[in-house]
Amino acid sequence: MIMSGAKAVVECLREQGVKIIFGYPGGMILPMYDALYDEKEIKQILVTHEQNAAHAADGYARATGEVGVCMATSGPGATNLVTGIATAFMDSIPIVAITGQVDTNLLGRDAFQETDILDITMPVTKHNFKVKDPRKLVETIRQAFEIARSGRRGPVLVDIPKDLFFADVDYKFKKIEEKSLGNPDADFKICAAEAVEEISKAERPAVIVGGGAISAGASKEIIQFIEKYNLPVVNTLMGIGAVPRSHPQHLGFAGLHGNKAANHAIAAADLVIAIASRFGDRQTGNLSKYTRSKKFIHIDIDPAEIDKNIEGSLGLAGDIKIILKLLMRNENFQPRTDWWKQIESWKETFDYDYQVNRLTVPWAMNQIAKKTAGKNFAYATDVGQHQMWAALHLKVEEPRTWFTSGGLGTMGFGLPAAMGAQIAFGNSRRVISISGDGGIKMTGNEFFTISRLNLPIISLIVNNSSLGMIRQLQKVMYKEKYIACEFDFEMDFVKYAESFGIKATAVSTQEEFAAALEKALADEKNPRVIVLNVWRSFVEPMTKGNARIDEFVEFK
C-alpha cells in the first residue's frame, strides 16, 4: 500500500505494538505529529522538555519490558534527547528515538537547526540510522526495534529528513518474529559442567544479581538456583527487585554504599557467581582487593562483558534462563553451615528511631517500606544520597518496580521516569518518586505534565538545601571546603508544586511525615508532593560497622 513516509512510520509503530510516544514537536518532526492526528491506537504524550521525553520512554520501558519510544525535532530537540539516551544506554534499556532532520538536499549545508545527531549519539546508542532513501524507511524502523529489544538491550536512534515524511512509501504489514537465542553447543555445556563443579566444591560461594536479570525476566530461575544450592544472594543497584528483598537468602544491596552483610559476603567469598552484572567500579572498588582469594563465574547475555572488568572468570554468555537450568543439574554439594553462621553475624539492624521525632531520610524510607508492603507500588529515584538511602531501606519485592539511573547517574532522571512508568502501569500500580532538591530543579517542570494528565504519583523531595552527595564528597575528600554545593537561597517547593495544581505538604518531624504519607496514600487518584525538610549536616551512623567495598574481610 502506498502512503506518505510519516504515515508508514506510524504504521510501523503500530506493527511493533507501540501504544505511547513521548515527545516534543518542532518543524522537522511536525509531519509525524500530523500523521498521528487521527491515530486511535497510539497516544502521544507532550512533555515539557525533550530530555524528559527520553527519560519517560526509559521509565516506560523499565516498567513494561517493552521498547519505549520518544521523538523530537532536529537540532536542539535532538541534542536535548542525548542525556536520556545515554542514561538508557548505560543501563541497557530498550528505547527507540525518532528525530526529524532537515531535508536531504540541505544535509551538510548548516541549514537552520541542522545537527549531526548520528555522530553525537554514536557512543551512547546501541545503533543509529540516518534514512536518506524513502524505500528503506519502513525496514529501518523495523530494524531499530529489533536491535533495541534483542540480546543486550539498548537505545537506537533513527534520524529522518523531513522530505522523507512526505515521500511515497510502499508499506506492507509484517508480523514480528519471535527469535530464540538457540540451544547451547557442546563446548558451552562443557563450560557449564565446569561451573557446576566449582559451585559444588566452593566453601563460601555468593551470588551477585545485576539489572540484566530483570531484562531477561529470569527472576524465577535465579530464585530456584539460589535455593537449590542454598546460596547467599546480593544485588547491584540495578538488580534491585530481581530477587524479593524479603527472601531469607537475600543479603541486600552490594557496592560502595551497600549493606554490611552484602559487602562482607562478597569480600569473604571464595566463589562469586555474577548473573547479568557488569562489575562496575561502584560495585568493585579496588579491583585487586575485590578479586583477591576468589574465583568468578560470570553469566551474561553480552560476551563482551566477560573478562572486561574481571579477568580470568569462567564465562557463560547467553540466555540466562537456559544457563541457570544447566547449572542446576547437580545434587552433590555441602550445606555450608559455617558460612551461613558467619553471614548471620554480619547482618545489621537499623535503629530508625535513634533520636526521637527527628526526621531522617532512612526513617522516611522505612516508613514507606512499611506502608507499601504487600501493595502495588513501584519506586523511582533521582541520583544522590536519597538514591542510596532508598536502595538500602526500601523493600522491593518484584522485578520492574525499581527505577534508577545506575550507570550514568543522571540527576533529574527520577520524576520523568516515574511519569513514564506511571503511564505504563495505569491504575494497576502507583509510583513513588524520590528526588533531592538539586535534581528536582532540573526536571521538576514535568510536574506540569503529571498534573495535566492527573497521574497519581507520590513525589518526595528531600530538601536539605544542598547537593548532598557533593557535600559528602567534599567533607570526606576535600577537607570540608564546601563550594558550589550549599544552596544559600531557599526555594519554596510546596508553592512550586501547587503552582502546577498539585497538593503539597512540607514536613520537618516524624509525625508530620507519617501524617502526610497517610494522606498521600489515601488520595489514590491524584498526584501528591511531600517536601522533607531535613538537616544539611551529617547525622550519626544508622548502623555500626558497615563494610567499605574495598575492605577485605577474613572468613573465620
Give the span between the Cα atoms of 154 and 88, in whole angstroms. 7
Return the percentage of the chain with pLDDT > 90, whole number: 81
Query: Which whole-number Å values give the CA distances from 95 to 402, 458, 531, 535, in the listed order?
Result: 18, 25, 32, 38
- pLDDT at 548 exceeding the cut of 50: no
pLDDT band at 547 (very low <50, low <70, confident <90, very high): very low
- pLDDT at 135 exceeding the cut of 90: yes
Over 446-486, what HEC string results?
Answer: HHHHHHHCCCCCEEEEEECCECHHHHHHHHHHCCCCCCCCE
Catalytic, 295? Answer no
Catalytic, 403? Answer no
- What pLDDT is recorded for position 523? 97
Is 397 in a helix, a strand, or coil? coil
The predicted model gives 3-10 an average pLDDT of 97
Using only the alpha carbons of the chain, give its radius of gyration.
24
Cα 461–Cα 464–Cα 440 angle in degrees, nearest 5:
35
DSSP classification of residue 246: T
DSSP classification of residue 156: E
- pLDDT at 344 exceeding the cut of 70: yes
At 55-95, the pLDDT tens digits run: 999 999 999 999 999 999 999 999 999 999 999 999 999 99
Give the span between the Cα atoms of 528 and 46, in whole angstroms. 21
Catalytic residue among 1, 41, 43, 112: 112
- Among the ranges given (164-173, 264-273, 344-353, 429-438), the one the predictor scored with the smallest mean pLDDT: 344-353
At 364-394, the pLDDT tens digits run: 999 999 999 999 999 999 999 999 999 999 9
Cell numbers that stand for 301 in this block? 547475555
Go through 137-147 and write b for each residue having 16 or more CB atoms within 10 A of its CB, e for each that does not: bbebbeebbbb
**For residue 14, how many other CB atoms are within 10 A of its CB?**
15
Q: Mean pLDDT of all residues in the chain?
A: 92
- Is residue 12 within 8 A of residue 146, CB to CB? The reply is no
Give the span between the Cα atoms of 193 and 187, in whole angstroms. 10
The predicted model gives 528-538 an average pLDDT of 87
- pLDDT at 453 exceeding the cut of 60: yes
Catalytic residue among 50, 66, 221, 305: 50
- What pLDDT is recorded for position 30? 98
- pLDDT at 545 exceeding the cut of 50: no
Catalytic residue among 162, 296, 342, 474: 162
Catalytic residue among 238, 411, 469, 542: 469
Catalytic, 112? Answer yes
- pLDDT at 537 exceeding the cut of 80: no
Catalytic residue among 44, 113, 143, 224: 113
At 467-497, the pLDDT tens digits run: 989 998 998 899 999 999 999 888 999 999 9
Cell numbers that stand for 335 in this block? 550445606
- Is residue 157 within 8 A of residue 186, CB to CB? The reply is no
Catalytic, 50? Answer yes
- What pLDDT is recorded for position 315? 92
pLDDT band at 549 (very low <50, low <70, confident <90, very high): very low
Return the percentage of the chain with pLDDT > 70, whole number: 94
The predicted model gives 221-244 an average pLDDT of 96
Give the span between the Cα atoms of 499 and 503, in whole angstroms. 9
At 19-41, the pLDDT tens digits run: 999 999 999 999 999 999 999 99
- pLDDT at 202 exceeding the cut of 70: yes
- pLDDT at 239 exceeding the cut of 90: yes
| Pairing verdict, β 2-4 and 168-170 | antiparallel
